[in-house]
Structure formats: C-alpha cells, structure tokens
C-alpha cells in the first residue's frame, strides 16, 4: 500500500479501479490508421464478425482540431429574440415554483406572470450583454472538436493477428 507524505497509508489510485482501467490497453500497438471514424468502426466490426476478441481494441481519435461554424450575424433583433426564447424556457420553472408557494392563486394569472417576468428579464440580460460586448464577436456560431485521423489500437498479445486480419479486408469494406 502506498503512503502519503506524512507516512499514512493511502487508498489505491483511481487508475486501478475497474472503470478507469477500461480505457487502458496493456502495451498497445497500432493496427490501423483511418481517415474517418466510420472507416475505423468498420475495421473493428470486421474483426468482430470474424471472431477476433474485440475487447482488446480501442479506437482513438488523433490530431484534434476545433472547427467553428459561423451561423449568422448578431443584430439587436436576434439578441432580443434569443433572450425571449431563453425566457420561455425558464418561465415554466418559475411558474411551478410560484404555484408551490401560492397554491390558492389563479393558475392562469401565475402562468402569465411567470411568462412576462421571465421573458422581460431574459431579454434585458441579453441586451445588456450585447451592449457591453461593444460589437466584438458580432456573430453566432457552434464549435466542435474533431479528429483528423482515427487509430485502432490493440493489446500487444493479439496485435499481429488484428493487423493481418485488417490487411486482409477488401477495400470495399473500408
């Protein structure tokens, strides 16, 4: 058992737990590199279909890059509409909380009050945020991290067998 700097016994490290080690391969070797995830997936599927012990494999995305897709220009109209949409999504929660604390009140009045309050507050926060940005980043976008290559890794004890099987795949299967 390991000890901390003061000589007290420490619990086993999280790396030894079953879930943490599920992603670890013992002495992994590369058995194939593919340009797309579906191609790497097909290779593993091929190995599985041919009786290979696929529990010895991992698909690893490498050469990561961030891709940002610009969707639209931000305008006061789009900022206020986004604020209103966010207000709609919080209005139901506010309505339920108000209904819990004021159960005898008119349900329709509570719903209208929650809608108006949530929409106005959300629009106000969106407007203040846009005003404070002073025109910087005047667009909306989405970001995704993607791999440019996918490598199939295998436990060293069966890597040669996997490599031979993948090499024997017909190009139509990739």
Give the CATH number, domain containing residue 150.
Answer: 3.30.70
Identify whether residues 79 and 130 lie together within a single domain.
Answer: yes
Q: How far apart are CA 145 and CA 148, in angstroms?
A: 10
132 part of a folded domain: yes
Kind of pairing between the strands at 139-154 and 57-73:
antiparallel
In terms of Cβ atoms closer than 10 Å to its own Cβ (0-12, 13-18, 19+), residue 152 is buried
Which residue's structure tokens are 């436990």? 155
Same domain, 87 and 128: yes
pLDDT digits 0-9 by tens, 36-72 = 999 999 999 999 999 999 999 999 999 999 999 999 8
In a domain, 152, yes or no: yes
Structural domain includes residue 18: yes
Banded model confidence at residue 173, pLDDT cuts 50, 70, 90: low
Pairing of strands 57-73, 29-34: unpaired
165 in a structural domain: yes
Helical (H) or strand (E) element with 99: helix 76-101
Q: Does the pLDDT at position 19 exceed 60?
A: no
SS3 state at 168? coil
Per the structure, how many domains does the chain have? 2
Which domain range does residue 107 map to?
75-136
CA 74, CA 133: separation in Å to the nearest integer?
11
Task: Assess whether pLDDT exceeds 60 at residue 8.
Answer: no
Q: Are residues 123 and 157 in the same domain?
A: no
Domain shared by 91 and 128, yes or no: yes
Residue 9 lies in a domain: no
pTM, whole model, 2 decimals? 0.56
**DSSP codes, 115-148:** HHHHHHHHHHHHHHHHHHHTTTT-EEEEEEEEEE
- For residue 4, is pLDDT > 50? no
């Amino acid at each position: 058992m390991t000890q901390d700097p003061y000589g007290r016994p420490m619990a086993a490290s999280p790396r030894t737990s079953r879930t943490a080690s599920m992603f670890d391969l013992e002495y992994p070797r590369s058995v194939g590199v593919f340009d797309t995830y579906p191609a790497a997936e097909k290779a593993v599927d091929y190995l599985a279909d041919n009786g290979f012990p696929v529990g010895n494999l991992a698909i690893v995305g490498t050469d990561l890059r961030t891709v940002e897709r610009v969707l639209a220009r931000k305008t006061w109209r789009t900022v206020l509409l986004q604020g209103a949409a966010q207000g709609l999504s919080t209005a139901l929660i506010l309505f339920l909380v108000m209904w819990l604390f004021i159960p005898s009140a008119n349900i329709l009045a509570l719903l209208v009050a929650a809608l108006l309050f949530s929409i106005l507050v959300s629009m106000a926060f969106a407007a203040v945020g846009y005003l404070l940005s002073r025109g910087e980043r005047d667009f909306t976008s989405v970001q995704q991290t993607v791999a440019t290559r996918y490598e199939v890794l295998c436990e060293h004890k069966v890597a040669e067998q996997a490599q031979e099987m993948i090499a024997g795949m017909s190009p139509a299967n990739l």
